[in-house]
Amino acid sequence: MANLYLSDEVGEPVVGETAVVVGPEARHAVTVNRLAVGEHVTVGNGVGTVAHGTVTVVAPAAFSFEVETVSRVERPTPAIWLAQALAKGDRDELAIQAATELGVDGVIPWAAARSISRWEGAKVAKNQERWAAIVREATKQSSRAWVPEVSPLVSAKQLATLAASAQVIVLDPLSQTPLSQLPLSQFAPTSARVDIAEKDSRDIVLVVGPEGGIAASELELLYGAGAVGARLGDGILRTSTAGPAAIAVLSAKLRNW
């Protein structure tokens, strides 16, 4: 799906009909990408529907295309979420950008005890919107049918409560269990053709700490709630690379790749 455009207005396009893309996305396509009549485009609505067609009309802030094919991509089960600790500079943003390109289904901004960066006051909403924009652009870059969700900012206590309904995995360099060796039965979707007795289709939440690591009190809280620890290797990755690396491992285990 090269040259993907995302538009909420497209809705559910119908083959043979004309669909219209308006607003900032159309303006970018026309003024920046120099979209012209006769070009082939791929347009998604961000929630699984992708339409392909030929541009028929171009205006300064809109374009129309004749829908030639429509495909529907179901969201993977279980979904993979990245609980990314806030980090200094742009390291947390690099993490969610790469995670989106690698297939994450949602991101959770986490105010960890050792996070140097802080979202407070008006910054909370502003930074959540920035993360959403980064995720959206990465979705287009990687031509994904689904735009990952961006949850509200959470504390360690709120993060721990997710273990009641999801498989929470803490990326802990001191864990004795490599992520690649966690039992497949914990992650196998019901559609996976593997010979195992039980399959757990609950969403997976990967927890990644900040530059200084996850505080002992936070680890105690998470493990006490039912989270499990796993390490990626013998070394220690940066907070900007740990999450994406783990998503690559899980995507292979889940047969998403």
Calpha distance 42→143 (Å, rounded): 9
Please give the average per-residue pLDDT across 181-209, as a whole number.
65
Q: Residue 146: is its pLDDT beyond 60?
A: yes
Cα–Cα distance for residue pair 40/24, rounded to 1 Å? 19
Query: If pLDDT is split at 50, 70 and 90, which confidence band does 200 have?
Result: low
Query: Which has the closest alpha carbon to 232: 164, 161, 165, 174?
Result: 174
What's the pLDDT tens digit per position in 30-81?
999 999 999 999 999 999 999 999 999 999 999 999 999 999 999 888 999 9
pLDDT per position as a tens digit, 9-20: 777 889 999 999
Q: Judge if pTM exceeds 0.85.
A: yes
**Beta strand ranges found along 60-203 (DSSP E):** 62-72, 80-85, 106-110, 149-150, 167-171
The domain 4-72 belongs to what CATH superfamily? Hypothetical PUA domain-like; domain 1 (2.40.240.20)
Question: Which two three-digit tokens encode residue 106?
Answer: 């949602």
DSSP state of 76: P
Residues of the chain with CATH 3.40.1280.10: 80-253
φ, ψ of residue 154 to 5 degrees: the values are: -125, 160
Which band of pLDDT confidence, cut at 50, 70 and 90, is reported for residue 185? low
Where in the sequence of the chain do the CATH 2.40.240.20 domains occur?
4-72
How is residue 181 annotated by DSSP?
G
Q: What is the pLDDT of residue 199?
A: 53
Task: Report the amino acid identity of residue 138.
Answer: A
Report whether 41 contacts 5 (CB < 8 A). Answer: yes
Q: In what order do the strands lie in the sheet with 40-44?
A: 4-6, 40-44, 49-59, 62-72, 18-22
Question: What number is the average pLDDT over the span 149-164?
Answer: 97
How large is the average pLDDT for residues 187-211?
A: 66
Q: How does residue 233 score in pLDDT terms, banded at 50, 70 and 90?
A: confident
Average the pLDDT over 157-179 and give the result. Answer: 95
pLDDT grade for 198, boundaries at 50, 70 and 90: very low
Q: Please give the CATH architecture assigned to the domain spanning 80-253.
A: 3-Layer(aba) Sandwich (3.40)
Instruction: For Cα atoms 231, 181, 250, give the angle at the middle one, nearest 5 degrees.
Output: 75
Strand segments (E) across 162-249: 167-171, 204-208, 228-230
